[in-house]
Amino acid sequence: MGIATINPATGETIKTFEPLSKESIESKLAVAQQVFESYRQTPMTQRAEWLNAAAEILERDKVRFGKIMTTEMGKPIKSAIAEANKCAWVCRYYAEHAAEFLADVPAATDASKSFVRYQPLGIILAVMPWNFPFWQVFRFAAPALMAGNVGILKHASNVPQCALVIEDIIREAGFPAGVFQTFLVGADQVKDIVIDPRVKAATLTGSEPAGASLAAIAGQEIKKTVLELGGSDPYIVLESADLEAAVSTAVTARMLNNGQSCIAAKRFIVVDAVADEFERRLVEKFQALKIGDPMEETTDLGPLATPSILKDLDQLVQVCIEKGSKVIMGGKALSDRSGNFYPPTILSDFPPGTPADNEEFFGPVALLFRVPDIDAAIARANAIPFGLGASAWTTDEAQAERLIDELEAGAVFINGLVKSDPRLPFGGIKRSGFGRELGIQGIQEFVNIKTVWVK
């Protein structure tokens, strides 16, 4: 697939782009390296002023930016506008807190003075996905730029206009030219960028194969990486749960972003005592969702981002059905319209050996598992290669403590859906990746943690 804007609601190719040549990549890397030498010396107060200006631009033009996101990857327009606002939030958060997060940390030793100093590394490569085309980038860029690094963005090939306008926002905010640059390149051009000695580290959000490939290249070069990969997050509902709240939140947790989120609730693990009622209410709410043009404010569920994503999702569903899983609702792509539309789907009663055991369903498909008790719920939740997030519903404090302690995930949310928040670290374990974004931990990933000892 080339670098192009293809409207997923219609299949129309709107605009195509030529990948950068080797000469253009070299020129851009030279600019990035040159600007880093001066940018790293800029006061934190100046960086914060520019980042706050970026926040103002994001809020000012949120509708325009939302329309670009929706056109390129199909998320409902109301979600796209909310994404632009969330990007403004992360910019303001790091503008306010970066100086505190990166301040020298004294340590009592045998020296006259000893402390830890945080210093920027240089050029950081960000390989970002299409599903949250602004948020994924800004949650990298805000801390990286505040730390004094410079960024280069290799965005997904189906959101080139998002990638270009993000560079425009950062430039308009006042950051020096070259501090953040978009590289319109194909996946086959990433290796040469990673191995360039001027590039000091890389972060990737995306699929397992993409993450493994980048980490292998970076490992050969002894370069730091942060990976946020796939997830098949459990959503556990115990007998003591507030059932109406659990069901209502379940709809958002599964359908947000047309179901295309790494941290979406994908496996609904419900104890037998409330499973029938949970299923009945979930079906009712799924049936009420409006599928259609994502540019319409009233649309709840738009198209999947690409035909291949639609095909891959449907293939997983069909394998489950062929192996004997039960279809409660949905179960096949919509053929009554153009575009990449898949209906709200609920599957259950999975025999051993279906994709529900170990695959990520990236779209509006809920997998419903019935279990006898909390022990079985935790075992089922952990019996998967992923460990990104987990949501669990209970009003019993002892049960909540067990869930917090025993669930194998980078985040556990009790009585709420899993979400990213600038104030909290974000990332996974197992095959969901390593390292953290956001919070104090996120800004400290791409710095030299320098020990200083003076006598």
Type of residue numbered 153 = L
Is 322 noted as a catalytic residue in this protein? no
Instruction: Give CA–CA dist 189/32, Å, rounded.
Output: 18
The two tokens of residue 421 are 């928040």
The two tokens of residue 240 are 């003591």
Is 445 noted as a catalytic residue in this protein? no
Find the helix or strand (DSSP H, E) in which 237 lies: strand 233-237
CB 251 within 8 A of CB 281: no
Structure-token match 């009003």, residue found: 395
Radius of gyration of the chain from Cα atoms? 23
Q: What sign has the CA pseudo-torsion 416, 422, 423, 426?
A: positive
The two tokens of residue 326 are 């039960």
The two tokens of residue 19 are 């990948």
HSE-up of residue 82 (Cα within 13 Å, Cβ side): 8
Comparing CA positions, the residue from 110, 39, 55 lying closest to residue 455 is 110
Active-site option among 262, 360, 437, 445: 262
Neighbours of 76 (CB within 10 A): 26
3-state secondary structure of 94: helix
Active-site option among 72, 83, 167, 228: 228
Comparing CA positions, the residue from 372, 257, 363 lying closest to residue 312 is 363
Structure-token match 């490939």, residue found: 213
Instruction: Give CA–CA dist 66/75, Å, rounded.
Output: 9
Q: Which residues pair with 453 in a beta bridge?
A: 114
The two tokens of residue 64 are 């325009």
Structure-token match 């050029």, residue found: 123
Instruction: Give CA–CA dist 332/166, Å, rounded.
Output: 36
Comparing CA positions, the residue from 138, 173, 137, 178 lying closest to residue 155 is 137
CB 55 within 8 A of CB 65: no
Comparing CA positions, the residue from 126, 341, 373, 420 lying closest to residue 271 is 373
**Residues with a known catalytic role:** 228, 262
